[in-house]
Chain A
Amino acid sequence: GQQVMQIPQYQHVQEGEDFTTYCNSSTTLSNIQWYKQRPGGHPVFLIQLVKSGEVKKQKRLTFQFGEAKKNSSLHITATQTTDVGTYFCADRGSNYKLTFGKGTLLTVNP
């Protein structure tokens, strides 16, 4: 089945620094969704990208979908302590099946 790789596995930043996580696949992704999971919490939907080359912004978060639809990225500008958590990408494939990457754990030092 579809495999989605995510890097890095961990990222520790100082508050105010930027952060980026990358999602890659060897095959074409259908739709990419991004989720945030706070420590001890459940995944919360952030956004869905559908079109090749699509870029969407949510305040300090910028989401991109690659031109070939084989990669995606999430960039956070000027991190805050509230950004702490694990960020997952997930391929929304046929039959609305969701295949998650392993996630990137972000920690922020105040």
Chain B
Amino acid sequence: EAGVAQSPRYKIIEKRQSVAFWCNPISGHATLYWYQQILGQGPKLLIQFQNNGVVDDSQLPKDRFSAERLKGVDSTLKIQPAKLEDSAVYLCASTPLLGNTIYFGEGSWLTVV
């Protein structure tokens, strides 16, 4: 079974530039999550989708971050404009509807300089 796919794996941008991350969850998984993990900390939920609807985006900085999952399958997370404090790993995860196990992708490592 293929895992959660993310791209790009690494990105370095200057502050005020924009960046987009892509995630393809495991086939058939209804729920998709985007987490931000700053070095030395636990993952922080940014947004949770169920199919193409948003379940929770309470911690998403909506002035600069946006995410979509238009067809209920893959998803993109965009940051515009980026700040230095956005340097982190952006983890995508998915789970089947009512499933217990959450599967994480390898993550997209962002450095803002």
Is A101 a contact of B45 with CB atoms below 8 Å? Answer: no
Is A43 a contact of B48 with CB atoms below 8 Å? Answer: no
Is B48 a contact of A45 with CB atoms below 8 Å? Answer: no
Interface of A toward B, CB cutoff 8 Å = 1, 6, 31, 33, 41-45, 48, 88, 90, 92, 95-103
CA of A92 to CA of B45, assembled, Å: 12
Report the nearest B residue to A46, measured CB to CB: B101
21 A-B contacts (beta carbon < 8 Å): A1-B58, A6-B42, A41-B106, A42-B91, A42-B107, A43-B43, A43-B91, A45-B101, A45-B102, A45-B103, A48-B101, A88-B43, A92-B100, A95-B48, A95-B56, A96-B95, A97-B48, A97-B55, A98-B102, A100-B42, A103-B42
Q: Nearest-CB distance from B49 to chain A (Å)?
A: 11
Report the nearest A residue to B44, measured CB to CB: A100
Other-chain residue from A33, A44, A99, A103 in contact with B45 (beta carbon distance below 8 A): A99
The residues in B between 1 and 51 inclusive whose CB is less than 8 angstroms from any CB of A are 31, 33, 41-45, 48, 50
